[in-house]
Amino acid sequence: MGDRRFKATSIAVLVVLAAVWLLPIYAMLNTSVKTQTEVAAQKFLQLPQRIMFQNYIQAFRALRVGLTNSAVITLPATFLCVFLGSLAGYYLTMFEFKQSQLVFFWIVVATFLPYQIVLIPITTLIGTLKLMNTYAGLILIYVILNIPMGTLITATFFMKMPTALQEAAALDGCKPFMFYRRILVPVSIPGLISAAILVFVQIYNEFLLAIALTRGPKVKPVMPILAELKGSQIAQWNIQMAGAVIVSVLPLLIFIVLSEYFVSGLMAGYSKE
Amino acid sequence: MKYSKAYGIAFLAPVVISVGIIYVMILWDLVSAFTIWEGMRATWKFAGIINFLNLLELRRFWVNVQNNFLWLIFFIVPTTLLGLILAYLFHGLRRAEKVFRQIFLYPMALAFIVTGALWAWMYDPGSGLINSLLRLLGVNTAKLGWIALPNVAIFCMIFSAFWQYVGFALVIYMGAIRGLSDAMVEAANIDGAGHFRILFQIIFPNVGHGTLICTTMLAITTMKVFDLVWIMTGGGPGIKTEVLPYMMYRMTYSQHNVGMGAAASVVILILAAAMVIPYSQWAIKKWVR
Amino acid sequence: MKKILVAGMALLLFLGMAAVLFPQEKEFIIFHYWTAGGEKEAIDELFKIFQQANPGVKILENPVAGGGGANMLAVLMGNLESGNPPDTFQDHQGNQQKAFIDAGYLDTVNDIWNKTKFESRINPVWVKTLKFNGKVYSVPINAHRTNWLWHNIAILKDAGVKAPETYDELLAACKKVKAAKPDVWPLSLGTREKVWSTYLYDMCLLTTGGPDFYEKANTGQINFTTDATFRKSMDRYAALIPYIYPYHATKSWDEAGALIKSGEAAMYWMGDWILGYYLAIGMQPNKDFGVTAIPKNVWMGHADTFPLAKGAPHPKLAKYWIEMCTTNEAQKNFNLKKGSVTIVRDVPPSVYPDPFRQRSAKDLASLRGVIDGYHGGMMTAAFGDDMQDILTQFLTNGDVSSAIKEIAASAARNNIKTANDWFWK
């Protein structure tokens, strides 16, 4: 009855929206298999004459090292941001102490700041620590810049936990770290995952620091290389779009996997309440 | 509740040290804003507030502030709203939901340097995708200049960010809605409530937590938006799509005016703090239960 | 599972740290933004020569994509400030280079210029814009000409228009094309990157007042508000606007140029690097497209240069590179791939396969030269940055008076008259 009609309309609406949402992706895929001449014609809707898979091969060759570097840098950095950030989020929300409000305030302000405003001091810092052009240097700076966000997001999810739970556990002789590991984390999977998704995207897609703090291809992440694919005075959009598809595979995989946990983790989490 | 200080220090140390380092670096901005710079060279001579005065005098600065506010309103509200609606629509589906979810989530996997180019192609008035499709449907696209039109450009840009982040709002709300007890929704259904009413009078008030996360994250994104402006329009036409972080970047690195760039940075800091105050007030209230 | 994760992370971190502790081999660090295709092949030619003379040296190139400068500077500034300079980097001339010099980031290379008798082998405009108070800090490797008007031969023929060589001819051509072919836009333009709006500005200044006026205007030696010639130049720019592709804000320089191929536009004002692009997308010179120079008695363009960074970590290698760039062989090999022409006169125009570069080389050797406003560094960075905003705004409304007002305000605010003293000394 009314419910079936609602379901039908909602599917129709979703299909239309999905089509709109996919338009730019269509442009990306379409351009990625065209020749440079075809791209120059700028008929974005039109399909290519021949499918130039060699664009992907060319792009992949250029991106290969960068992809490894990005994985090596982004994954540990994300893990550290979420893990260390959640420890702080946990303590801030579960334990009262005099300055918690102040500390929280300044942490949140720090997440709002665009890092470009401290680009020069960052380069100075990494240069002084002699961590220029190293994995460690990039991981370090990305962690410093993104831990506040990790803390903020996890704290917001932890806020929903009743402190009574923590107090009861403490009375039972449960040490904080055990509480964190055994109770908090499993229940707050969605929070940790949201944090992981956001932080991962921030670090993986970052561009300026990736150039400023590296020299040469050894540790350079994938984003600057992607930007280079177009060329400054030659405009190879097709290769760059092929590269864009390749580069987006890793985040997409992470989204697919994580959002599964997100949705299923939720069911488990909330039912524990 | 109180606990041994040792745990406190251990758990808080990483974030506090990081934030500390960030603020020390901001100190550099603060000092730079109050000194004279000759292009790229620091003279470290105290200059009072002249950089700020110069900044406030620029019409460009006020256009940027206005643009940032436009972002705050027109990015956060529609994204949150559509995320909520989509989450509600998804709630009814079972298997199809996974595919749809990835379609809306995929844009987040793309870097801004890519989406900037993609949307420039979407909005291209000549043969771009939007106008080409509209023409197929018989619409006259002569006046639809999109980002070529000075007064419409910024909304076009905000829309492309909206496109990118709806997936995130969707996922957050999906989680929040599933967390609601089914009993609540069942009861409303039996009462014969229309879907509209269920969504806005029953579900929305009870996913306040999800709304909070969503709006906070989106607000953070607005303050930091940079790559998109840079790639899509370079702040143009004129300066119609410029935002504060981009202006600060242009001043420091294109105009070689580090002093004024630092002053802009300080303004960004003040605005961020101003935005956070109501948020942290609310959060504190929640803790002191 | 978690233990494995943690162990894995620790291992990765350790690897990262290890990279710091290993000793550095002999290296050469260079920043540039020639990242793909022909431009990459060009700089690879230089690397080839360099590597032959310096085997065992690892070349660390840091391509800084995008921005044609701004990004380079953002990345460089942090590195230069923190004492991590590269050995050399890609720079332009004029005020762009002066910014580095004033900040104390460059070292002089007068000895290299003297040794190779460089000054006598090049057009005097390079000397004028690379010598600051008698000192030179870099060597230019290529000369890009920017006062080229590219046109679709078929469209102009159909409209009965001769390819224009002066401003008046250009305006007349626009009018004729518009009348004969209403679907075609006479003049293409792409301002997604706003800098190209200044190229047309340069052209109007140059054709209205001549090269001396042009130099005075871009260096702020005139009174923008009252100068009649300046007003006339801006009026001339405004007169072109109705014939300019209206949606230029969405087009990049290459997309705008491609409109000539598709026949949506008739003419395009752009520098010579678009030749490589046109060839790559299948256009044939003198069949599909032709080129004229406006005005034909002036060579306008800019060069890419390699300065010597102060405190360069490998000064001997840096100096070798810079001296290498003065040689005929390096200049020839680089420019053949790059699409520009050599700075030095010794390389004959006949080495270029296409007629346009042959002409560019000949003109550079014999005509009066001027450098363009933004990339060439006639404008100071702040003024040039403002001009981009002012001119893209101007393009939307053609309001000459308000544009002049804003230009004058920017010139005053940025003190460009005094900033350009070095040029007039």
Judged by CB atoms closer than 8 Å, whether chains meet at C191 and B237 is answered as yes
Residue C63: its chain A contacts at CB < 8 A? 224, 228
Cα→Cα distances B198→A120, B168, B189, B205, C315, Å: 52, 22, 8, 10, 73
Judged by CB atoms closer than 8 Å, whether chains meet at A22 and B103 is answered as yes
**Is A223 a member of any domain?**
yes
**Is A6 a member of any domain?**
no
Residue C88 is predicted with a pLDDT of: 95
Contact status, residue C149 vs residue C291, Cβ threshold 8 Å: yes
Residue A119 domain boundaries:
53-272
A196-240 tens-digit pLDDT: 988 999 899 998 888 888 888 889 999 988 888 887 777 788 899
B204-238 tens-digit pLDDT: 777 777 888 888 889 888 888 888 888 888 887 87
Tally of CB atoms within 10 A around C287 = 9
Q: How many CB pairs under 8 A join B and C?
A: 97
Q: B191 to chain A, minimum CA–CA distance in Å?
A: 14
Q: How far is residue A15's CA from residue A271's CA, in Å, rounded to a whole number? A: 32
Range A41-64 average pLDDT: 88
Q: What is the CA radius of gyration of chain C?
A: 23
Tally of CB atoms within 10 A around B60 = 18
Say if C26-142+304-350 and C148-300+373-424 have the same CATH topology.
yes
**Is A252 a member of any domain?**
yes
Residue C191: its chain B contacts at CB < 8 A? 236-237
Q: How far is residue C68's CA from residue C65's CA, in Å, rounded to a whole number? A: 8
Residue B150: its chain C contacts at CB < 8 A? 393, 396
Instruction: Out of A57-66, B27-36, C73-82, give the one with best mean pLDDT.
Output: A57-66
Residue A120: its chain C contacts at CB < 8 A? 77-78, 81-82
Task: For residue A8, count CB atoms less than 10 angstroms from its CB and return exposed for 0-12, middle for 13-18, buried for 19 or more.
Answer: exposed
Residue of A nearest to C260 (CA): A41
Residue of B nearest to C382 (CA): B255
Task: Indicate which of B11, B185, B222 best probes the interface with A, i.e. most A CBs within 10 Å of its own CB.
Answer: B11
Instruction: Give the H or E element holding residue C368.
Output: strand C368-371
Range C328-335 average pLDDT: 94
Judged by CB atoms closer than 8 Å, whether chains meet at A157 and B119 is answered as no
Retrieve residue C333's tokens: 């090999």
Task: For residue A262, count CB atoms less than 10 angstroms from its CB and return exposed for 0-12, middle for 13-18, buried for 19 or more.
Answer: buried
Q: In this model, does residue C76 exceed pLDDT 90?
A: no
Q: How many CB pairs under 8 A join A and B?
A: 281
A138-152 tens-digit pLDDT: 999 999 999 999 999
Q: Which of C74, C381, C392 lies nearest to residue B237, judging by beta carbons?
A: C392
Q: Which residues 204-263 in chain B show a CB within 8 A of chain C?
A: 232-239, 249-250, 252-257
Residue A147 is predicted with a pLDDT of: 95
B23-50 tens-digit pLDDT: 999 998 888 888 887 767 777 788 888 8
Q: How far is residue B113's CA from residue B116's CA, in Å, rounded to a whole number? A: 5
Range C189-195 average pLDDT: 91
The ipTM (two decimal places) reads: 0.86
Q: Judge whether B123 is closer than 8 Å to chain C, CB to CB.
A: yes
Residue C6 is predicted with a pLDDT of: 63
Average pLDDT of chain B to the nearest whole number: 84
Q: Which of A36, A79, A224 lies nearest to residue C281, judging by beta carbons?
A: A36
**Is A25 a member of any domain?**
no
Contact status, residue A210 vs residue A138, Cβ threshold 8 Å: yes
Judged by CB atoms closer than 8 Å, whether chains meet at A42 and C255 is answered as yes
Domain range B34-287, its CATH number among 1.10.3720.10, 3.20.20.150, 3.60.60.10, 3.40.1410.10: 1.10.3720.10
Which residue, among C406, C413, C415, C370, has the nearest Cα to C388 in the 3D structure?
C406
Average pLDDT of chain A to the nearest whole number: 85
- Mean pLDDT lowest for which of B70-74, B89-93, C370-374? B89-93
Judged by CB atoms closer than 8 Å, whether chains meet at B119 and A24 is answered as yes
Residue of B nearest to A88 (CA): B12
Residue of A nearest to C13 (CA): A136
Which residue, among A131, A133, A263, A248, has the nearest Cα to A200 in the 3D structure?
A248
Task: Indicate which of C35, C39, C142 best probes the interface with A, i.e. most A CBs within 10 Å of its own CB.
Answer: C35
Residue C207 is predicted with a pLDDT of: 95
Range C85-91 average pLDDT: 92
Range A44-50 average pLDDT: 85
Q: In this model, does residue C66 exceed pLDDT 70?
A: no
Q: Which of C104, C382, C389 lies nearest to residue B41, judging by beta carbons?
A: C104
Q: B115 to chain C, minimum CA–CA distance in Å?
A: 14
Judged by CB atoms closer than 8 Å, whether chains meet at C65 and A123 is answered as no
Residue of C nearest to A80 (CA): C9
Q: In this model, does residue C169 exceed pLDDT 90?
A: yes
Q: How far is residue C425's CA from residue C423's CA, in Å, rounded to a whole number? A: 6
Q: How far is residue C230's CA from residue C140's CA, in Å, rounded to a whole number? A: 31
Judged by CB atoms closer than 8 Å, whether chains meet at B255 and C70 is answered as no
**Is A120 a member of any domain?**
yes
B188-199 tens-digit pLDDT: 666 666 777 777
Instruction: Out of B177-181, C209-213, C413-417, give the one with best mean pLDDT.
Output: C209-213
Judged by CB atoms closer than 8 Å, whether chains meet at B236 and C392 is answered as yes
Judged by CB atoms closer than 8 Å, whether chains meet at C386 and B255 is answered as yes
Task: For residue C134, count CB atoms less than 10 angstroms from its CB and return exposed for 0-12, middle for 13-18, buried for 19 or more.
Answer: exposed
Q: Which of B166, B268, B273 lies nearest to residue A117, judging by beta carbons?
A: B268
When divided into structural domains, chain A yields a total of 1
Indicate the domain borders of chain C: 26-142+304-350, 148-300+373-424
**Is A5 a member of any domain?**
no
Question: CA A207, B20, B37, B55 torsion: positive or negative?
Answer: positive
Q: A39 to chain C, minimum CA–CA distance in Å?
A: 9
Q: In this model, does residue B2 exceed pLDDT 60?
A: no
Residue of C nearest to B39 (CA): C99
Task: Please provide residue B243's backbone torsions phi and psi, each rounded to the nearest 5 degrees.
Answer: -125, 165
**Is A154 a member of any domain?**
yes
How many residues does the structure list for chain A? 273
Judged by CB atoms closer than 8 Å, whether chains meet at C385 and B250 is answered as yes
Q: A57 to chain B, minimum CA–CA distance in Å?
A: 19
Give the pLDDT band of residue C4 (cuts 50, 70, 90). low
> CA B229: distance to chain centroid?
12
Q: B5 to chain C, minimum CA–CA distance in Å?
A: 26
Judged by CB atoms closer than 8 Å, whether chains meet at A79 and C63 is answered as no
Contact status, residue A83 vs residue C12, Cβ threshold 8 Å: no
Which residue, among A44, B231, A42, has the nearest Cα to C256 in the 3D structure?
A42
Give the pLDDT band of residue C309 (cuts 50, 70, 90). very high
Residue A152: its chain B contacts at CB < 8 A? 216
Residue of C nearest to B43 (CA): C103
Judged by CB atoms closer than 8 Å, whether chains meet at B40 and C250 is answered as no
CATH number, domain of A221, equals: 1.10.3720.10
Q: In this model, does residue B280 exceed pLDDT 80?
A: no
Average pLDDT of chain C to the nearest whole number: 90
A72-100 tens-digit pLDDT: 999 999 999 999 999 998 888 877 777 88
A109: left (phi over 0), alpha (psi -120 to 50) or beta: alpha
- HSE-CB at C209 with a 13 A cutoff on CA atoms is 21
Q: Judge whether C75 is closer than 8 Å to chain A, CB to CB.
A: yes
Residue B284 is predicted with a pLDDT of: 66
Judged by CB atoms closer than 8 Å, whether chains meet at A41 and C81 is answered as no
Instruction: Out of A171-175, A185-189, C22-26, C194-198, give the one with best mean pLDDT.
Output: C194-198
The residue that leads in pLDDT, C127 or B210, is C127
Give the pLDDT band of residue C19 (cuts 50, 70, 90). very low
Q: In this model, does residue C84 exceed pLDDT 70?
A: yes
Q: What is the DSSP letter of C291?
A: E
Range C66-80 average pLDDT: 74
Q: Judge whether B41 is closer than 8 Å to chain A, CB to CB.
A: no
For domain C26-142+304-350, say whether CATH 1.20.120.80 is its number.
no
Q: In this model, does residue C23 exceed pLDDT 50?
A: no
CATH number, span C148-300+373-424: 3.40.190.10
Q: Judge whether C269 is closer than 8 Å to chain A, CB to CB.
A: no
Residue of A nearest to B217 (CA): A153
User: With b meaning 16 or more CB within 10 Å and e meaning fewer, what string describes A160-171?
Assistant: bbebebbeebbe
Contact status, residue C256 vs residue C188, Cβ threshold 8 Å: yes
Range C48-72 average pLDDT: 83
Cα→Cα distances B232→A197, B112, C364, Å: 25, 9, 36
Q: Which of B8, B249, B287 lies nearest to residue A93, judging by beta carbons?
A: B287
Q: Judge whether C252 is closer than 8 Å to chain A, CB to CB.
A: yes
